Chain A
């Protein structure tokens, strides 16, 4: 299970990069199984940390994705509309979900070490 140390993690399995990029963890994509559809927020939307802003759907289930930081959505990963499986194959790379400008991280984000321990 990969848990890059340069990222912060929410208990709800989203990761947050320093530049505001958000995705779901390797653990989360593995638990979800084959991702078949991703519903992304609109660019320009102001979001609050903890707010449900996207949905990742696997064959079996739909899972809400919560913003790990407050701020404004400035980009979404358009590649996911044609290739949602990128979330499975590269959760920290090509499978990123959206980017928040000037992100104000939630207070309760976890370090990689803390997240890896909690997500076992």
Chain B
């Protein structure tokens, strides 16, 4: 167990607010972030049953604009950006030249020639360099706005009801993946009906200087502060992949259950992505013993893969895991996971583990 107060870590605009809320801060992808406030299970349950708020300001924001913005993004991503209308958001992947995954991202279409990309915090530098290289020959302007934005994720079945009295937009009219400007608590923000918890909710883009005030107001109207610990158990229950666990630069993206993100279009690395993946991502349920990243997965006593993410599911009350296994061994019903030298039974279950 380590105490995390390293000075080299970056801090979000909400750092002081986290300390006030009693957060335990830990290093995460180069940032000092709250892992929990009251406790992972309590925060997890708050999001599933009511509403929680996460600080995700550590994530990166790139603006892509210009006459070739759409054509450029169509080249560097696997999903179909041409289908993305202004005021809408789309989950997408950045492939490399050999079909590996540089990052998984969200794209928000601001206007005909303007897009906002939200990228993983730990990949900001890598993504920026990659996009700069790929932009050669396109009439496009890239701006790294990561320091300009605060980003708050309000998630849970009561998120809409708690926000509505304080916002000048009819939230009920905003469907999943809507992206729109709004006035929230008197501040100009942008909202997207997106999230990473398997619950309904919104992600709120604020000016970095106003993030703390908005955070405090969200807590005052009933949102429970939730940390990275709950964010991970929630996303795992929802079957959402996490870069560095289910995705990696050298891992075939079609191994995941998210192969729909690759559309039939010309894009970077496409000829490699069309090949059959050697491994598959599966869901596992266990009875009692939690299994963690890296633990071997066995089929009939033979190693066929490894766990990529595992936890004890607060909602389901038993351990769950995602695992990458050999394609030819990916359709069995029963596996074993090796925990500290001993094999424990695990049954394959469809992803997601939890659906709202």
Chain A interfacial positions (CB closer than 8 Å to B):
13, 28, 31-34, 36-37, 39, 55, 57-63
- Any A CB within 8 A of the CB of B127: no
B1 contact set on A, CB distance < 8 A: 13, 28, 31-32, 63
- Any A CB within 8 A of the CB of B39: yes
A59 contact set on B, CB distance < 8 A: 40-41, 229, 233, 311-312, 314
Knowing A33-B229, A37-B312, the reply to whether A60 touches B340 (Cβ < 8 A) is no
A33 vs B36: C-alpha distance when bound (angstroms):
9
A61 contact set on B, CB distance < 8 A: 292
B340 contact set on A, CB distance < 8 A: 39, 55
B166 contact set on A, CB distance < 8 A: none
A62 vs B295: C-alpha distance when bound (angstroms):
12
Instruction: Please report whether the interface of chain B is mostly helix, strand, loop or mixed according to DSSP.
Output: mixed
Return A53 CB to nearest CB of chain B, in Å: 12
Contact A39–B289 (Cβ < 8 Å): yes
CB nearest to A27 among chain B residues:
B1
Return A63 CB to nearest CB of chain B, in Å: 7
Interface flags for B279-305 (1: CB within 8 Å of A; 0: not) read 000000000111010000000000000
A53 vs B40: C-alpha distance when bound (angstroms):
26
A109 vs B27: C-alpha distance when bound (angstroms):
30
- Any A CB within 8 A of the CB of B232: yes
Chain B interfacial positions (CB closer than 8 Å to A):
1, 35-36, 39-41, 229, 232-233, 288-290, 292, 311-312, 314, 319, 340
A34 vs B42: C-alpha distance when bound (angstroms):
9
Knowing A13-B1, A37-B289, the reply to whether A60 touches B311 (Cβ < 8 A) is yes
Contact A37–B314 (Cβ < 8 Å): no
Of B288, B289, B312, most buried by chain A (CB within 10 Å of CB) is B312
Contact B232–A60 (Cβ < 8 Å): yes
Q: List 13 A-B contacts (CB under 8 A).
A: A28-B1, A33-B36, A33-B229, A36-B312, A36-B319, A37-B288, A37-B289, A57-B289, A57-B290, A58-B40, A59-B40, A60-B35, A62-B290
Q: A33-B39, A60-B311, A61-B292 are in contact. List 11 more A-B contacts (CB 8 A).
A: A13-B1, A32-B1, A33-B36, A33-B40, A34-B39, A36-B319, A39-B289, A57-B289, A58-B40, A59-B41, A63-B1
